[in-house]
Structure 1
Amino acid sequence: MHPLKIHITGAYGLIGNLVFKHLSQWPDRYELFGSGRRAVSSHRADLDARKVIPDTHFCIADLSDSQAVHAAFEGMDAVLHIGAVPGPEDTFDDVLDSNIRGTFNVLEAARKHEIKRMVYASTIMTTWGYAKYVEPYKSIFEERIKDIPKDFECVTHDDPIRPTEPYSMSKVWAEGACRTYADAHGLSVICLRIGWVNKENEAQGLFSNSIWCSHRDIVHSFEKALDRTSDPLYGVCYAVSNNNYRWVDLTHADKLTGFVPQDGGGY
């Protein structure tokens, strides 16, 4: 059996390069390819720890360029769609090409090339409104420790979405688009609602601690989700570390993919 050919979009971004580096440990299982708008690391990534991708396995492909995306996906077995404009401060025009049009191009290329396995990098911010507007999550968001109850129910994948700005709105749209392609075209896809991953690999502050995801946990969440897509399904789960004041559910991630975080930030 040949190694699974996997294409990673945003391969020189912080998360994309961490995942590329992690999966490259098993060349007998995975043959990795990557793409990005440029062959340089994101300013969000640790340059000293980056994985340099061979030219034979990397191509320049802006997600908004459908022809480039289609060419990049030829011959692939699976896609890890991680590339995006990542900022909650970005405007609708900022996220339109990469996050909305780009995700459509990725899904269409997967359909055209009969790729049946995909993991999509969504975000915890699809439910950010709970932290901004709903107690007790608002107390965590505002770091009012005395108002945070000892026990509270976590936000789950079944709770209504609650985006707060164009970036998280674009991720909600993409989750829906993935569902469409799962139903209509048999794409097996898992959407990971990722917490806060930073190049320092550490939690900072009470609220940041509550949503932090370590480097070890984020790469394992992708590995587990990728393996799970060997069966036809559509699923959504959170990918964060097991932190103090964590307010999103992790039990469903375990049931869906087998992901159990190994790290956790304390505060």
Structure 2
Amino acid sequence: MRVLVTGSSGLIGSNIIKLLKDKFDFIGLDITKNNQSPDIPTIFSDALNINDIADSIKNVDAIIHLAANASVHTSWEKALSNNISLTHNIFETAKNIGIKKIIFASSNHAVGNFEMDIPYSNIVKGNYKNLSPGKYKLIDHKVPIRPDSQYGISKVFGEATGRYYHEYYNMDVSCLRIGTFNAENKPNNIRSLSTWVSYRDLSHMIEMCLINQKGYEIFYGVSDNLWKIWDIEHAKSTIGYKPLDNAEIYRTK
């Protein structure tokens, strides 16, 4: 399967390509070189202008769309250009040239304001009093959107765009509400003991989406953490997600 990865030289892109490059034929799309996998063919262009390179990607089977301004503190102006307009252009170009599968890197920030509510507000602060793992309701793919930032709003737009292109153009679209994916590849604060996703778990989820996902789906990109607040059973039952990691092994006693 030939797979275009937008934002291929970023933190997520470079790591999933490194872990999955023996299973898929990747093509990168970025303005900089992928230093972790310099052998991967790369189109050096701004993903915002993907239509300009449409002829170069007509033989692609799927797109993993990661390119974005990834900071939760992103201004509206940057979110509008680098997240909203860019994502629309990705889907529209895919439709025009016949690419039928897109994995969209959404974010937990599309539903981030659930963390204002008990018990989630306590869990992300490390306050587990009167709580037991697995005994509270997890935030699942059916909850209403509750973005916590302009960045979160831009990711909600991407999810809505994915649904539109699925329902009108029969694309298979996976929206991954990705948790804490960081340079250390381990939890780095109390909140991330709930929200962390390891490199290998997210790569595995993406692999399963490429192979097994049909229709339109929302999944939470999070490892099987003891104190997770997001549901992963839907991903397990739908695409065969089998996470291997648990943030708890990194907890400092």
Given that 1:241 and 1:263 are in contact with CA atoms closer than 8 Å, whether structure 2 keeps it comes out as yes
Given that 1:88 and 1:165 are in contact with CA atoms closer than 8 Å, whether structure 2 keeps it comes out as yes
Residue 71 (structure 1) shift:
4.3
1:141 maps to 2:133: no
Q: Which residue of 2 aligns with 1:205?
A: 189
Given that 2:2 and 2:27 are in contact with CA atoms closer than 8 Å, whether structure 1 keeps it comes out as yes
Q: Which residue of 1 aligns with 2:228?
A: 246
Q: Which residue of 2 aligns with 1:237?
A: 219
Q: TM-score, normalised by structure 1?
A: 0.88
1:13 maps to 2:10: yes
- The within-5 A match list for 1:247-262 is 247-262=229-244
C-alpha distance in 2 between matches for 1:108 and 1:165: 25
Given that 2:112 and 2:147 are in contact with CA atoms closer than 8 Å, whether structure 1 keeps it comes out as yes
Q: Deviations over 1:156-200 (max 9, x none)?
A: 100111101111110001000000000111111111111111121
Q: Deviations over 1:206-247 (max 9, x none)?
A: 211100001110100100011124x4x111111101112110
C-alpha distance in 2 between matches for 1:21 and 1:123: 22
1:80 maps to 2:64: yes
C-alpha distance in 1 between matches for 2:3 and 2:189: 36
C-alpha distance in 2 between matches for 1:141 and 1:134: 11
Residue 130 (structure 1) shift:
0.7
The 1:166/1:104 distance shift into structure 2, 3 A limit, reads same
Query: Structure 2 counterpart of 1:93, which letter?
Result: E
Q: TM-score, normalised by structure 2?
A: 0.92
1:22 maps to 2:19: yes
Given that 2:14 and 2:34 are in contact with CA atoms closer than 8 Å, whether structure 1 keeps it comes out as no
Say how many residue pairs are matched: 247
Given that 2:83 and 2:155 are in contact with CA atoms closer than 8 Å, whether structure 1 keeps it comes out as yes
Query: Structure 1 counterpart of 2:90, which letter?
Result: V
SS in 1 for 2:109: helix
- The within-5 A match list for 1:59-70 is 59-70=43-54
Residue 31 (structure 1) shift:
1.8
C-alpha distance in 2 between matches for 1:162 and 1:183: 23
Q: Deviations over 1:86-113 (max 9, x none)?
A: 1001111111112100111100111011
What is the aligned counterpart of 1:35 among 9, 15, 29?
29
C-alpha distance in 2 between matches for 1:227 and 1:12: 23
SS in 1 for 2:191: helix
What is the aligned counterpart of 1:100 among 81, 84, 102?
84
C-alpha distance in 2 between matches for 1:183 and 1:263: 34
Query: Structure 2 counterpart of 1:110, which letter?
Result: A
Given that 2:29 and 2:42 are in contact with CA atoms closer than 8 Å, whether structure 1 keeps it comes out as yes
Structure 2 unaligned spans of 5+: none
What percentage of residue pairs aligned between the two structures are identical?
28
C-alpha distance in 2 between matches for 1:71 and 1:14: 27
Query: Structure 2 counterpart of 1:100, which letter?
Result: I
Structure 1 unaligned spans of 5+: 42-49
- The within-5 A match list for 1:103-252 is 103-131=87-115, 133-146=116-129, 149-150=131-132, 151-229=135-213, 231=214, 233-252=215-234
C-alpha distance in 2 between matches for 1:61 and 1:68: 9
Residue 145 (structure 1) shift:
3.5
1:58 maps to 2:42: yes
SS in 2 for 1:220: helix
